[in-house]
Amino acid sequence: MTEGSQNQSNQRSVWIAGASGFCGRGITQRLAELNGLDHSTSPRYQVLPHIRPHSSRAPKLLKEWTQLGLSPVNEEWASIESALQRYQPQVVISCLGTTKRHEKREGGNYEEVDYGLNRQLIEIAERLETPPHFIYLSSMGVEWGRWSQYLEARMKVERDLKESRLPHSIIRPAILSGTSRDERRPLEEFGAWFSHRLSDLFTTLKMTDLAHKVKPLDAHEMAEFMLSIIEDDTLLSNQGGRTYTIEMIHQTLSRRTSRLP
């Protein structure tokens, strides 16, 4: 019996690819918080954040995740299929992606990382005993992929995911920014500041749709939206796929916020 199937009766097993990144750390932390609030004999989630052994963030994050009671997966990408087969997760979240800075420092361009690794992950997920629900963090603007290598990679991942046999959710946020980033991105920070001001203006003018399109999302908000998918038993049991636009993301977050005490 696999490690994942042992927990299927009382836990939802969630694999997080790209767990060391901005949004990956956000959803990992959020699931850990929920487990900490659950005083039953078994936490509601088996959280499986993946990080490569040679990542500069590995020592710190592995210690942090272990202390939170998670099950970090510290494997090279070449061994990723055996690890996924071992755990058999019910949900696979992909926050995989690179940046120009990482490309210069560590190698791996958009075609190799943003598309290539996600393509492999989709193929591996299709070979699991039960196809997991695949949650892919894409981007707003993928329809303009021909003019951007970044967007083209995401457009191709979306295409492959839709052509796969995996039940899936595609998330298309706008700018992602917030204080939990562990590296400075001056242009992005300025863009986020400007987008917030523009969103405030559109909100004042009661142009809600435009306000949603330009308003940045932080890691906590993205984690909360992903959680809305993970918690939805009906959605996870569906065999098809769904694509979430930036407007749909904000609408869901607004509904969840309104239910808070």
Q: What is the pTM of this model?
A: 0.84
Whole-Å CA distances, 207 to 94, 118, 202: 32, 36, 5
Phi and psi at 181, nearest 5°, equal -65, 140
Q: Provide the Cα torsion 210, 213, 214, 218; round to 10°.
A: 140
CA gap 133, 130 in Å, rounded: 9
Compute the chain's Rg from CA coordinates: 18
Name residue 95's beta-bridge partners: none
pLDDT band of 99, cuts 50, 70, 90: low
Q: Which of 25-39, 92-106, 152-166 has the lowest mean pLDDT?
A: 92-106
Mean pLDDT on 87-101: 85
> Which two structure tokens, joined as six digits, stand for 118?
């996600």
Q: Output the CA angle 146-152-154, nearest 5 degrees.
A: 150
Whole-Å CA distances, 75 to 2, 72, 83, 131, 190: 17, 9, 8, 21, 36
Q: What is the pLDDT of residues 138-158, one digit of tens each?
A: 998 888 877 888 899 999 999
Q: Are 72 and 14 in contact (CB under 8 A)?
A: no
Q: What is the pLDDT of residues 23-32, one digit of tens each?
A: 999 999 999 9
Mean pLDDT on 173-191: 58
70: left (phi over 0), alpha (psi -120 to 50) or beta: beta
Which amino acid, 82?
S
Q: What is the pLDDT of residues 214-232, one digit of tens each?
A: 667 888 999 999 999 999 9
